[in-house]
Structure 1
C-alpha cells in the first residue's frame, strides 16, 4: 500500500487530502505557511461538513478521517512516503524546490504526481532530480468528488510509475485517462477553452446572454454527454451529416488567438469573476452556499463508494 502525501495546502491539496482520508488512508499535507495550514484544515473540515449535511457521511466518519490527517510545514514529514501529489503554485522555481525536497526526504522510488495543467510534463521532468518517477495527474474541482484524473507521461516516465499511478487513482478517483505527451490544456481544459471562447464571442456579438448560454449547456450539452460520449454521439449522427454541419458552422466559429474583449475589460475594471463579486454575473445576487452545493451535487453518488473510516 502506498504511503501518501500531498505537497501543497491550497484548494487542490485540501480536496485531494479529503479524498485520501475519506478512503481510510493516512495522508500528510506539506504546506509552507501557518496561514496556509490553517486554511487547509478549515477547507478539509468544510468538505466533511458538506458531506454530512447531504447524508453522505457521519460525524464518526469525519472524526475518524481527520485523525488520519497530518498537516505540517516540515518537509521531513515526507519520510517513508512512497506517493506524493504535488499541488503547489504554477511556477518552475516553486516546483523544482518541492521536487528536491521530495528526493531528499521521501522514499527513493517515490512517485511524484504533479497536479499541474499548465506546465508540460517534459518541463516538469527537467526540474526533477528523478524524472523517471514524475508524471502529471491532473484532477478537477471539486477534487475530492469529481471522478476523472488526466495522467500525462513524458519520454522518461518509468512504466512502473504509470502502473502504480493507475492502481492508486482507479481506487481513489475511479476514472483515468492517459496522455502520452503534454498538450496545452490537456483534454478537459482544452475542450473547456473552446467552449469559453465561443461563448464569450457570442455575448460580444450580441447573439445571447451568459444566462442563456449556461442554460443551453446545462440542459442540452451537459445532459447529453453525461450519459453518452462526445464521439459516440459523433458516430451516431454520422460523418455525412456532421460534415454538412461543419461546412455550415466552422467558417463562423470564433478563431480568436488572444484575450477577448469582455475578459480584458473585466481585468481592466476589476470585475474578474466570483471572487470579485462581479464578472459575467453579479455575484451579490447569488447564494454562494447554493453555488458550492451545486458544484458538488453531480458527484454525490460517487462518495457512496468511499471506504470511509469509522
Structure 2
C-alpha cells in the first residue's frame, strides 16, 4: 500500500481513543468508517466526535466548515464487513490479547490483501497480537496518546514480522495528519512513552512512600522542574546541555538510590483497595468531588491546547 493510495480508514472500537482517531483522519479529508459491537456505542462515539470538534473550535484550531466536512467523512456500522474496501484498519478495542487476536484473524478474511493493519494498543506485544493472522508483514502498532485530538505523539511499533515499507508508509501517514511519529524499532512492552512515564511514576510513588515529599510537591516538582524542560528538549538533550560528565557522576551515586521495585507500591495498592481510582471514582491522590473532576479535565485540556499552539508556532 502506497501513501498516495490511502483514501479510506477503518477504525474498530468507538470509545474515546477510536473516536478521537476517527475525528483526526476525517478532519484531514480521509473517508472513515467506525465499527463497534452495538449502536449504543456508536451513538456515544458521535457525541464524542462532536465534543472534540467543539473544543477545537473554541481554541481557534478548527473552522465551522471543517466540522461539517469532518462529520460527513465518518460513517458508522456494527458490521466488520465494511472493512472490505478500507486501505488502513486501526484497531482500538479492549486491551485483552485474545480478543485482539481473534478480531484480527476475522478481519484478515474480510480486508483487502494490501490493506495495512494497525493496533492502537498501549503496551501489549505487537508480535503477540498478530499471532493468528497469516500476513504479518503488514501488521504494525500505531499508538495514539489520550486525548488523541490534542496530543501530537503517535508511536509506530514494529512487530517481528513488520516490513520496512509498512513502517515507512505509516510514518508518512502520521505526518499527513499533522501528528509527530516516533518509530519503536523493537517490540518492547510499553514502547517508548509508557516506559518513560511509568519509570517516573514508580519513582514518584517511592518518594511519597519514603516520606521524602508529599504527592502534591512531587507533582509540583515535576511540573516546574523536569517537566518544564521536557516539552522543549527532552531528557537526553537535557543531559547534553547540562553536560554528560555531570549526568554520569550523578548517575554513579543516584541510580543506586532509585526505586527498582517489581510490584506496585503499597501507597498505590491502598488507593486501589479503597476504590479511589482518580477522576473516574471522584477521588485518588486528589479530591474530584462536587464537579472538580470536570474542572480538572477542562483545565488539563486548556493547558494542552496552549502547548499545542506553542508547538505549531515554534
TM-score, normalised with respect to structure 1? 0.92
Is the 1:149–1:169 contact (alpha carbons within 8 Å) kept by the matching residues of 2? yes
Aligned to 2:32: 27
Aligned to 1:235: 240
Report deviation, 1:295. Answer: 3.1
Aligned to 1:111: 116
Aligned to 1:163: 168
1:184–1:278 distance in 2 versus 1, CA, 3 Å: same
Q: Deviations over 1:84-130 (max 9, x none)?
A: 11111112221123213321222111101111122112212213232
Q: 2:135 aligns with which of 130, 135, 145?
A: 130
1:285–1:199 distance in 2 versus 1, CA, 3 Å: farther
Is the 1:148–1:173 contact (alpha carbons within 8 Å) kept by the matching residues of 2? no
Aligned to 1:151: 156
Q: 2:304 aligns with which of 298, 301, 306?
A: 298
Q: 1:77 aligns with which of 72, 82, 91?
A: 82
1:142–1:234 distance in 2 versus 1, CA, 3 Å: same
Q: Matched residues in 2 for 1:105 and 1:221: separation?
A: 48
Is the 1:149–1:173 contact (alpha carbons within 8 Å) kept by the matching residues of 2? no
Q: Pick which of 61-70 and 280-289 moved more.
A: 280-289
Q: Deviations over 1:230-285 (max 9, x none)?
A: 21121222232112212332222112110110111111111121101111111116
Secondary structure at the counterpart of residue 9 of structure 1:
coil
Is structure 2 residue 207 aligned with structure 1 residue 202? Answer: yes
Q: Matched residues in 2 for 1:232 and 1:60: separation?
A: 41
Q: Pick which of 224-233 and 291-300 moved more.
A: 291-300
1:211–1:286 distance in 2 versus 1, CA, 3 Å: farther
Is the 1:146–1:173 contact (alpha carbons within 8 Å) kept by the matching residues of 2? no
Secondary structure at the counterpart of residue 150 of structure 1:
strand
Is the 1:19–1:145 contact (alpha carbons within 8 Å) kept by the matching residues of 2? no
1:223–1:237 distance in 2 versus 1, CA, 3 Å: same
Q: Matched residues in 2 for 1:285 and 1:215: separation?
A: 24
Is structure 2 residue 57 aligned with structure 1 residue 52? Answer: yes
TM-score, normalised with respect to structure 2? 0.91
Q: Matched residues in 1 for 2:100 and 2:157: separation?
A: 17
Is structure 2 residue 121 aligned with structure 1 residue 121? Answer: no
**RCO higher in structure (CA 8 A, sep ≥6):** 1
Secondary structure at the counterpart of residue 211 of structure 2:
coil
Q: Deviations over 1:195-231 (max 9, x none)?
A: 1111111111222222211111112212211111321
Q: Pick which of 59-68 and 196-205 moved more.
A: 59-68
Q: Pick which of 253-262 and 117-126 moved more.
A: 117-126
Aligned to 2:93: 88
1:232–1:13 distance in 2 versus 1, CA, 3 Å: same
Aligned residues: 306
1:304–1:13 distance in 2 versus 1, CA, 3 Å: farther
Q: Matched residues in 2 for 1:111 and 1:52: separation?
A: 32
* Root-mean-square deviation over aligned CA pairs: 2.1
Report deviation, 1:305. Answer: 11
Secondary structure at the counterpart of residue 186 of structure 2:
coil
Report deviation, 1:25. Answer: 1.6
